[in-house]
Structure 1
Amino acid sequence: MKLPHNAHVAVVDGENFIVLRNQGKGFDIQLANAERPDLDATNFSAGIKHQDDVGQRTGATDLNELAHGAAAAEWLNAKSISGEIENLLVIADPKTLGEMRRHFHSELEKRLVGDIAKTMTKEPIERIEKAVEAA
C-alpha cells in the first residue's frame, strides 16, 4: 500500500489505541511518533447489534471492547473534523473495525486512505510497517 507522507495510522483493538505517523513517502513506510490517546468509553449502546443469544451465552460479545472501538472512532472523528488528520489508515481487529465503521463521520471517511482488518496493537512497529506495505 502506498501511504502518504505524514499520514496518521490508528492501530486499535478492544483495549488498546495507538496513533502513529508515516515519516516515509509512498511505498517507503516509516512509522513513528506513537501517541496513546486516553479514551473515555461511554458508548455502551455501540455493541447492541452484537447482543445475540449465542454471543450472550458464550460470552463472545464484550461490550467494553465495542465501546472502546466506538470511543476510538469518536476521537478520530474529532481530529478529522478539526483538520488535525489529513490522511488516515485504520488497522484494527475485525470486530473492532466493524464497530468503528458504524461511527465514522463523513469528514473522517473523506480522509480515510484505507483500513486493514488485523490485530496489531501489540506488534512492534516493524511488523506494522510490513503489514501496511503488504496491504
Structure 2
Amino acid sequence: MTDRMTDTSTDPVREILERWKAAFDGHQVETMAGLFTDDALFQGFGPEVTSGRDAVRAYYDAVADDRSADVTVLSTYTIGDQVAGGFADVTFKDPHGWEASVHMSLVLQRENDAWRIRQYHVSRVITDH
C-alpha cells in the first residue's frame, strides 16, 4: 500500500485498508466480511447497492482467489472519535494480466473500540470518453 499523504499518527482508514488489502490478497473472505459493520452499505463492481455483512461475504466469496489489490491512499479524515473516512485509488489485478482501476471511498464507524467499514463504494476508472 502506498500513500500520497504523510502519516503522522494512527489513521483508522489506513489501518482498515492495510487489513482489507491483506485479506483481499489472501482471499480471506471471513476476515474481509469482519471488517464491515453488520448493516454496512456496499457498492462493488455490480450495479446494485447491497447491505449487510452477509452480502459483503457473498460478494468477496465470488471474487477469483488469484486477484490482488494495489492501494494508494489519497485522503483521509476523522470526525470526532467515532467516524472516519477517506478516498483511495485501487488497482485490482490477476496473474493473467487482467486489471481494473477504481476510485474507492470509505466511511468508517467505531464499534466497541474497533473501526469497521460502514459504507464502501468503488467507481471504475474509465479513461476513454
**Structure with higher strand content:** 2
**Structure with higher helix content:** 1
TM-score (norm 1): 0.27
